[in-house]
A = this chain, B = another copy of it.
């Protein structure tokens, strides 16, 4: 009996990533990346952030295009709602990091994905940011991420896929663990 199987293709260049892992283990200087954005105040709570260049693989890297993100507060805070709230942007960062990880780990484990979607919810008591109660933290008390994944794999393998994505996610690490931030005025 002859079995013809279609190669798994989630659009992730896993051979390249396996090579990069080996190469950067030997040449750790190239692994030192600096991601960078600029932010410009527009008016009120509205600002725009731009991402384009970054440093990595030992040199400054440019891209064909810049990416722009508007952020603002919504009308319930008497603001102009010209963009998502910063706290929604944070959820977008977490979501996209975990989903990129799901696709990458699936490719690494020969699992064909058909669809991946996630809903993220973050609970926040706004008495914190308003300064109404200093015992209330400013940020999220809890973030819930719920994935719906259709793939050529068992439920257990899909669970393991998501668990491994968490384990290797930059943004999951930044959110769940303390990260050092220095703020200064030039």
Residues of A within 8 A of B (CB): 10-13, 16-17, 20-22, 24-25, 28, 31-41, 43-47, 49, 51, 54, 56-57, 61, 63-65, 67, 69-81, 83-100, 102-104, 113, 115-133, 136-149, 155, 158-159, 162-163, 166, 168-186
Chain B contacts of A81 at CB under 8 A? Answer: 63-65
Considering residues A118, A159, A183, which has the most beta carbons from chain B within 10 angstroms of its beta carbon?
A: A183
Chain B contacts of A86 at CB under 8 A? Answer: 93-94, 96-97, 100, 170-171
In contact, B186 and A148 (Cβ under 8 angstroms)? yes
Chain B contacts of A39 at CB under 8 A? Answer: 92, 95-96, 99, 117-120
Contact A117-B35, Cβ < 8 Å, known A127-B25, A175-B174: no
Could you list some 28 contacts between A and B, CB below 8 A?
A10-B43, A12-B45, A17-B77, A21-B130, A22-B132, A31-B130, A31-B132, A33-B123, A33-B125, A35-B124, A35-B140, A37-B91, A37-B120, A39-B96, A40-B116, A41-B113, A49-B92, A54-B74, A63-B81, A67-B83, A86-B97, A90-B93, A93-B93, A94-B181, A128-B168, A140-B170, A176-B178, A178-B178
In contact, A78 and B17 (Cβ under 8 angstroms)? yes
- Rounded to whole Å, the gap between the CB of A172 and the closest CB of chain B is 6
Chain B contacts of A99 at CB under 8 A? Answer: 39, 41, 47
In contact, B130 and A169 (Cβ under 8 angstroms)? no
In contact, A175 and B185 (Cβ under 8 angstroms)? no
In contact, B138 and A35 (Cβ under 8 angstroms)? no
In contact, A122 and B34 (Cβ under 8 angstroms)? yes
